[in-house]
Structure 1
Amino acid sequence: MQRTKAHVKEAQWNEEDGFLKIYMKGRPIQLWAPQSVTNFNASKPQDPPNEKLLLDWVYGYRGRDCRSNLYMLPTGECVYFAAAVVVLHNLEEGTQRHYLGHTDDIKCLAIHPDQVRVASGQVAGHDKKEGKPHVRVWDSVSLQTLHVLGVGEFDRAISCVSFSKVDGGNHLLVVDESNDHVMSVWNLSRDKYHKIGESKTSGDPVTSAEFHPSEKNSIVCCGKGQISFWTYEGGTMNKRTGIFDKYEKPKIIICIAFTESGDVLSGDSSGSIFVWGKGTNKITHAIKDAHDGGVFSLCKTKDGTILSGGGKDRKIKQWDSNYKQVTEKEIPEQYGPVRMLSQGQGNLILVGTIRNCILQGTLDLELNCVVEGHKEELWGLATHPSQHQFLSCGSDHFIYMWDSQSHSVVWSKEVADPAHCASIHPNGDVAAVGLSTGRWLVLDLSSREVLTVHTDGSEQHECIAYSPDGNYLAIGSRDNFIYVFNVAENGHKYSKVGKCSGHSSFVTHIDWSTDSQYIVSNSGDYEVLCWLASNCKQFTNKDTIREIQWATQNCTLAFNTAGIWPDGADGTDVNNCARSHKGNLIASADDFGKVNLFSYPCCQPKSHGHSYGGHSSHVTNAAFLFDDSRLITCGGRDMAVLQWEVV
């Protein structure tokens, strides 16, 4: 709920005791300032820093729940999306460009017949004004937005987009995710794009909708329990439903493709491929049990053969013009079932998978994984203390080590439980990973061997951090405790010191003092508490607390981070923050899909910073590389890791 200004209490500075009082959900929070701060003016916001962020690399691909999401351009770039970014990735040269026009999750893509223009459709976003589902048509060479279609016209999200082929791409087809899954046709031939017709398609989800490549004003649409053949003339749209006749009607028609001769192919949830004669709504040929389980994708290749991709069997099959199987290849289990098949460069094919990977290769030789990413919600992030590497971990049970310079996976490891937080030891040899089950483990980074597994409590570990000298490990848990361990033998041996007990809600963030003596922590009910690491006792001497130097700034509630909170924040809006190693910048990750960059310290309430889109929904974590050259950020449900250059 957006609160009015009258309900938001202004921050107050207490000169006598040296603290700033801010309010979260009407609750007062005292943030103790360093002793050196005097005559503080709480009403003067800070200016943004000189430094800015440029999106440098996107790790990930959204194959898990989207179709129409992987194509090849004549430039040698393959086009796909992750979160709110369309990635143009030159696999040979190892470069990426990014289209950043969207404000939230992208769900579908289409390439114009001119092979330059691209249409991409997004979901409803957070922002009342900008967050409406819409389609953006843009230039893939200049990355300039040419047109924004349908703001305020669509509901929930855009599920399908398709350019017309027969008239050279003068029309665009759009299907939204409203209750009636409305299909609309837009005229692109004039400067001002306009809608020329629309119709309800079905009360059930639409999986695919495309213009027929060789029949004017003809559209094929399919989804749950239906395939339909549409014509539009002068604004009216007429529908013929596909007749299954002697064949059993499948539960879902998942995908469509078109043959050289203009026949329509459909792949369905029962594993069949049906051929629908050109210009008819009748089946002329059937390949029953083409796949074990659903047919998830169909693709006509340059040489006229047809490829089909299986959901359950993870197989790609090639069929000749008489629909006889030529060859097949099974995708390794780790990459998951086929989501999307696409023609690559030359005789190569591109394969997008449900486990958010992209493979490239040929069926008779090898399919190599060229893009890899997390498969479920993502929270854990830790940067290496001395190398251009970082570690991420998520609900998919996977831990990834990435190289920020080669933009590649150094290694990945699957663990028994969902992972939520991570910290790399100051020596760079081991990492501690907090899991969602109350367990935590320590991993040798060179051998990837699990060195030790501990259980502390039965709830998720929210945050984990080694002390600067590497002799302690602190783990903040959802059970309101902070567990502290002595660390010996270069991070290979752990013995419990005790647990810090005093928070009345779950622990959200922890920081260590530079001398490794103190811990400061935040909790779900906005408490800021300080602890002595050696005995886990709460430390309350305010004069001493005001003098402590903190090695990191992960705590979002602190005097030095009072300015990162937006006006009227409710305490959950900022998920994480990270100070640069030089100590001049602080980045925050928020609930509105934004990565924000402020000058540090950022103590003036409502300070001005730079704000960057690219993620969708919750940005869950941010961390600077050891040399501050890059900022790494994680999206929660968008499962993407974004790498930003600090310029």
Structure 2
Amino acid sequence: MSTRDATYNEEEGYVRMFLRGRPVILYAPSDLEGYDISKVATAPQSKLKLEWVGPLSVILVCISNCIDLPLTDTFRYGYRGRDCRSNVHLLPTGEVVYFVAAAVVLHNFEEQAQRHYLGHTDDVKCLAIHPNRLLIATGQAAGHDRREGRSWKFNPPPDRTAPEADQWPHVRIWNSVSLSTLHVIGIGEFERSICCLSFSKADGGTLLCAVDEAPDHNISIWDWQKGERGQKITETKCSVDTVVAAEFHPMERTCVVTCGKSHIAFWNLEGGCALSKRMGIFENRDKPKYVTCLAFSQSGDVISGDSNGNIIVWGRGTNTVAKFVRGVHEGSIFSITVLKEGNVITGGGKDGRLVELDSEYNKTGMESQLPESVGGVRAVSEGRGGQLIVGTTKNCIAGGSLDLGLRTMMVGHTDELWALAVHPSLPQFLTGGHDKLIHLWDSQAHDVVWSKELSDKIQSAAFSNDGSVIIIGATTGKWMVLDAETKEIYSEHTDGDEPIQVLKFSPDGSLLALGSRDNNLYIYEVSDEFRKYSRVGRCTGHSSYVTHLDWSSDSQFIQTNSGDYEVLYWNASLCRQIPQSSQLRDVEWATHTCTLSFGTIGVWPEGADGTDVNNCDRSHDGSLMATADDFGKVKLYSYPVKQPKSLCHSYGGHSSHVTNVNFLVDDTRLISSGGADTSIMQWMLC
């Protein structure tokens, strides 16, 4: 939208604005007086504070009888386990640090509390802990304004201190106690996202190694303490193939080991200013497709795991094989951890097994199998009192021991997340994703109430007015009626073969409206305490897919938006369009989730193309409006947002498009869901 082109017709009482050159007419209420379209609306007094992030894929595994944390304590709501490694660590404070989307989460088990580092603007891809266990380095991908990921090397801006500088891939080094940022390094130096980070160990952490996901996977060494932006000591091409890990040797200051597709490499920082490389020699043994992870024995040998399920031990200071342990796992080994007493724990990314080896790499007989539903092992690190912290390839949490087995304690989403519905009377909300999973969450306990896997990808959801029934809309045109307590499926229906984009009950509970990607709106009569549905008819008239809908408070009318920026109105019981939209200018709407209306004019930023704002929600008391946009932002406005120039509070944390926002029933919390980042964020209003 161009706010410069938005005009107000005082005689007719409507605003004309443009989205991608298309005019949109929005009628103001007839009692509106003194409307000045050029007036700048102020931001609300209320603000948001990030309270909880989720879902989380972490498993607590006890390998001894010394258990500091009860198995009923869980991580809740968030961890990126599907494609990142070595990203779950226990800090001396007792907090576990991990990342999800653009947020880094510090979770305290004992206090059941989270803190959040929110310095990043896009996906955090890697994490490294300083030897002092106080400082943390995190690396991010290019921000939303730099989707191609090209750095200043190729497209230099006029000013390195430009406000958008933090959109470029970079590394942030910060204090885990105060959450203050100490150094921001690499702005303008990295081409794509940072995939690997490691502090030097033998010298107390004066150096930092970073690997860029550029075509040559450049490896660079930084004196990170030199000024606010650090000083790059050297940089060179690492590998044209994928690099999955880079680690400083714990006993040799100048040695770095990297591994990835078809290789392991041993680097030495010669003269403190140049990197030399020796490739690992596999000799006559089968060269794996991937060397998937690294660790170091207590004597300084390098231990690598590979895609064939084998462990290879490389003698300290050499690039040759000292020991070969075949068939530890079926398929890739994604993580290796050397315990304080010298034993080794390996995690299988395919077989989902945790296997313990002694210091001579013989199996001890202690192992455990993760449930298939939680996926494979992604990351393993040692916790307190003989505990392990294990991240999985699916966003789940479980607890147990290697001898007694593991039990699933929580599940999460692993694919795009679109469905979000809040309970009409309880502090609960439901999420559903393209992973075919639905989860009912308790916002106060930050925990899952129940989960269910369905047969189709999930696009939308809604609670019945009394909260007893849940309607689930799928991407196939199918929609299901579920009992909200037992999860029993009462019935299944199909309308078209396109996704059910949005669905909502009328305020009196007598009708259900479903908006489809096939451009149609379907109306059903509801009976038998929300268990029985009989189709009333189909509303046709949109020239593009239905995106949003709201019911009038008297349950007579529906307003809808579409993918080509239409705003249409319907008589619900007759399934007929009301062509004169001015006739409904004074209708009271039970909810306000349509992004195109007179009350949402100001949510559209300058230059918006009509798809930038994915969803919105009006608070139940009618004073606030929250929006979810394509730039990873959750925004909070005063309602109604009728001025094109409306100020707001803007909040980061999501790294992908934010697909949905909903206020909880008492307006004390706001829930937002991410798309590709699969994250759920709970915001407290303050």
Same-fold call, TM cutoff 0.5: yes
Shift of residue 313 of structure 1?
1.1
Q: Which residue of 2 aligns with 1:70?
A: 88
Instruction: Determine whether 1:51 maps to 2:46.
Output: yes
How far does the alpha carbon of each residue in 1:375-403 deviate from its partner, in whole angstroms, 9 at most, with x for none?
A: 10001000001000000001000001000
Shift of residue 362 of structure 1?
3.1
Instruction: Determine whether 1:515 maps to 2:554.
Output: yes
How far does the alpha carbon of each residue in 1:300-336 deviate from its partner, in whole angstroms, 9 at most, with x for none?
A: 1122110111122111100001111111111001100
Distance 2:586 2:118 in 1: 43
Q: Which residue of 2 aligns with 1:468?
A: 507
Instruction: Determine whether 1:400 maps to 2:418.
Output: no
Shift of residue 245 of structure 1?
0.7
Of stretches 465-474 and 355-364 in structure 1, the one that deviates more from structure 2 is 355-364
Q: Which of 258, 274, 277 is matched with 2:315 structurally?
A: 277
How far does the alpha carbon of each residue in 1:473-512 deviate from its partner, in whole angstroms, 9 at most, with x for none?
A: 1100000000010111121110001011000000000000
Q: What letter corresponds to residue 87 of structure 1 in structure 2?
A: V
Other structure's SS at 2:601 match: helix
Q: Which residue of 2 aligns with 1:96?
A: 114
Q: Which residue of 2 aligns with 1:33?
A: 28
Of stretches 60-69 and 514-523 in structure 1, the one that deviates more from structure 2 is 60-69
Q: Which residue of 1 aligns with 2:295?
A: 257
Other structure's SS at 1:486 match: strand
Q: What letter corresponds to residue 106 of structure 1 in structure 2?
A: V
Q: Which residue of 1 aligns with 2:161?
A: none
Q: Which residue of 2 aligns with 1:22?
A: 17
Instruction: Determine whether 1:373 maps to 2:412.
Output: yes
Would the aligned equivalents of 1:350 and 1:358 in 2 still touch at CA under 8 Å? no
Would the aligned equivalents of 1:427 and 1:490 in 2 still touch at CA under 8 Å? no
Would the aligned equivalents of 1:383 and 1:623 in 2 still touch at CA under 8 Å? yes
Would the aligned equivalents of 2:371 and 2:407 in 1 still touch at CA under 8 Å? no
Q: Which residue of 1 aligns with 2:64?
A: none
Distance 1:373 1:99 in 2: 21
User: Would the alpha carbon gap of residues 418 and 553 (structure 1) be closer, same or farther in structure 2, given more than 3 Å must change?
Assistant: same
Shift of residue 635 of structure 1?
0.4
Q: Which residue of 2 aligns with 1:169?
A: 205
Distance 1:568 1:243 in 2: 55
Q: What letter corresponds to residue 51 of structure 2 in structure 1?
A: D
Instruction: Determine whether 1:154 maps to 2:190.
Output: yes
Shift of residue 352 of structure 1?
0.5
Superposition map of 1:534-573 within 5 A: 534-573=573-612
Other structure's SS at 1:127 match: helix
Superposition map of 1:190-589 within 5 A: 190-192=226-228, 193-233=230-270, 234-326=272-364, 327-369=366-408, 372-589=411-628
Shift of residue 370 of structure 1?
5.5
Bigger relative contact order, structure 1 or 2, given CA contacts below 8 A and separation 6+?
2
Q: Which residue of 2 aligns with 1:79?
A: 97
Gaps of 5+ in 1: none
Other structure's SS at 1:78 match: strand
Other structure's SS at 2:144 match: coil
User: Would the alpha carbon gap of residues 402 and 612 (structure 1) be closer, same or farther in structure 2, given more than 3 Å must change?
Assistant: same
Q: What letter corresponds to residue 194 of structure 1 in structure 2?
A: Q
Other structure's SS at 2:41 match: coil
Distance 1:359 1:218 in 2: 37
Q: What letter corresponds to residue 609 of structure 1 in structure 2?
A: C
Other structure's SS at 2:660 match: strand
Shift of residue 361 of structure 1?
4.4
Q: Which residue of 2 aligns with 1:127?
A: 145
Distance 1:222 1:140 in 2: 28
Would the aligned equivalents of 2:43 and 2:638 in 1 still touch at CA under 8 Å? yes
User: Would the alpha carbon gap of residues 119 and 371 (structure 1) be closer, same or farther in structure 2, given more than 3 Å must change?
Assistant: farther
Shift of residue 188 of structure 1?
3.0
Would the aligned equivalents of 1:471 and 1:487 in 2 still touch at CA under 8 Å? yes
Q: What letter corresponds to residue 285 of structure 1 in structure 2?
A: K
Q: What letter corresponds to residue 19 of structure 1 in structure 2?
A: Y
Distance 1:74 1:551 in 2: 50
Q: What letter corresponds to residue 113 of structure 1 in structure 2?
A: P
Distance 2:621 2:376 in 1: 45
Would the aligned equivalents of 1:587 and 1:597 in 2 still touch at CA under 8 Å? yes
Gaps of 5+ in 2: 56-78, 147-163
Of stretches 85-94 and 130-139 in structure 1, the one that deviates more from structure 2 is 85-94
Q: Which of 7, 14, 24 is matched with 1:12 structurally?
A: 7
Would the aligned equivalents of 1:63 and 1:357 in 2 still touch at CA under 8 Å? no
Superposition CA RMSD, Å:
1.3
Distance 2:519 2:629 in 1: 23
Q: What letter corresponds to residue 539 of structure 2 in structure 1?
A: C
How far does the alpha carbon of each residue in 1:354-375 deviate from its partner, in whole angstroms, 9 at most, with x for none?
A: 0122445432245354664211
Distance 1:455 1:304 in 2: 58
Distance 2:382 2:644 in 1: 53
Distance 1:334 1:606 in 2: 48
Other structure's SS at 1:491 match: coil
Would the aligned equivalents of 1:105 and 1:123 in 2 still touch at CA under 8 Å? yes
Q: What letter corresponds to residue 542 of structure 2 in structure 1?
A: H
How far does the alpha carbon of each residue in 1:581-625 deviate from its partner, in whole angstroms, 9 at most, with x for none?
A: 000000000000000000000010131100000001200000000
Distance 1:171 1:342 in 2: 22
Distance 1:212 1:404 in 2: 43
Shift of residue 116 of structure 1?
0.5
Q: Which residue of 1 aligns with 2:73?
A: none
Other structure's SS at 2:583 match: helix
User: Would the alpha carbon gap of residues 424 and 488 (structure 1) be closer, same or farther in structure 2, given more than 3 Å must change?
Assistant: same
Q: Which residue of 2 aligns with 1:610?
A: 649
Distance 2:183 2:88 in 1: 22
Q: What letter corresponds to residue 131 of structure 2 in structure 1?
A: P
Q: Which of 136, 148, 151 is matched with 1:118 structurally?
A: 136
Distance 2:567 2:224 in 1: 56
Shift of residue 527 of structure 1?
0.5
Would the aligned equivalents of 1:500 and 1:538 in 2 still touch at CA under 8 Å? yes
Shift of residue 191 of structure 1?
4.0
How far does the alpha carbon of each residue in 1:16-46 deviate from its partner, in whole angstroms, 9 at most, with x for none?
A: 2111111001111001111111332111121
Distance 1:361 1:558 in 2: 52
Distance 1:455 1:570 in 2: 32
Would the aligned equivalents of 1:381 and 1:623 in 2 still touch at CA under 8 Å? yes
Distance 2:413 2:96 in 1: 20
Q: Which residue of 1 aligns with 2:123?
A: 105
Distance 1:564 1:622 in 2: 14
Distance 1:99 1:616 in 2: 14
Distance 2:193 2:225 in 1: 25
Would the aligned equivalents of 1:482 and 1:500 in 2 still touch at CA under 8 Å? yes
Distance 1:189 1:503 in 2: 59
The percentage of aligned residue pairs carrying the same residue is: 54
